[in-house]
Structure 1
């Protein structure tokens, strides 16, 4: 994509701090550095979101995430955890429409990162939950 900032980073048209690169992915520091070491893992193939991945691309991208995450954690003894986030669509906070994974090292409960999860326990009956599950199962591909 001509106007995609991540494609420009992949093609070295925009500088980045790269920590890993191979034929399929590039991992580089997020410019915002929500916490020190905040890294993006990006497929070199332009896909907008997770819904556009085929099995081959998923294997190429996903298999490298644990390796990169371990390297980030091992690089700093102060890292005590890590959030790995992947957002799809503006409603899900995706701001660059080129699929990417955020690896956000965590140093304490007081660092500059948070996630809020709603609790809807008990709001759907067992029957409603089964109906949702059945609908999803109908769309699964083997």
Structure 2
């Protein structure tokens, strides 16, 4: 199977990991919408959120823990959770992933979500999230 996220989990492709547990891994998106944009993926390959009804609940604790880190460590004022299921919905990597997109008061609401703000040093963002 040629799955980018499975390769990241296996350590074959580097990532800027910010959280991991027995069921999930969270790492910074390499093309972020906003500072701290993170993906949470299950360790087990599941194509999308509709392929296995149990998987979202299995990774929910990782989503919550990662979301807490993003808000607490980056000073985010809120957080969007987004899951795309299927190509027509915008899914590009066919391994279930939850986007955690920190939101800041300077760009509120859905219109602020759509205004990308990707110009951040990902290594620095990772250090801040990890408290280093």
Name the TM-score, length of structure 2 as normaliser: 0.77
Q: How does 1:84-123 map to 2 (within 5 A)?
A: 84-107=81-104, 108-109=106-107, 113-114=113-114
Structure 2 unaligned runs (5+)?
A: 116-132
CA contact (8 A) 1:35 1:112 kept: no
Write the deviation string for residues 51-70 of structure 1: whole angstroms up to 9, x where unpaired.
Answer: 12243x33321122112101
How far apart, CA to CA, are the structure 2 residues paired with 1:81 and 1:94? 23
Structure 1 unaligned runs (5+)?
A: 116-142
CA contact (8 A) 1:41 1:101 kept: yes
2:23 maps to: 24
Corresponding residue SS for 2:7: helix
Which of the two has higher C-alpha Rg? 1
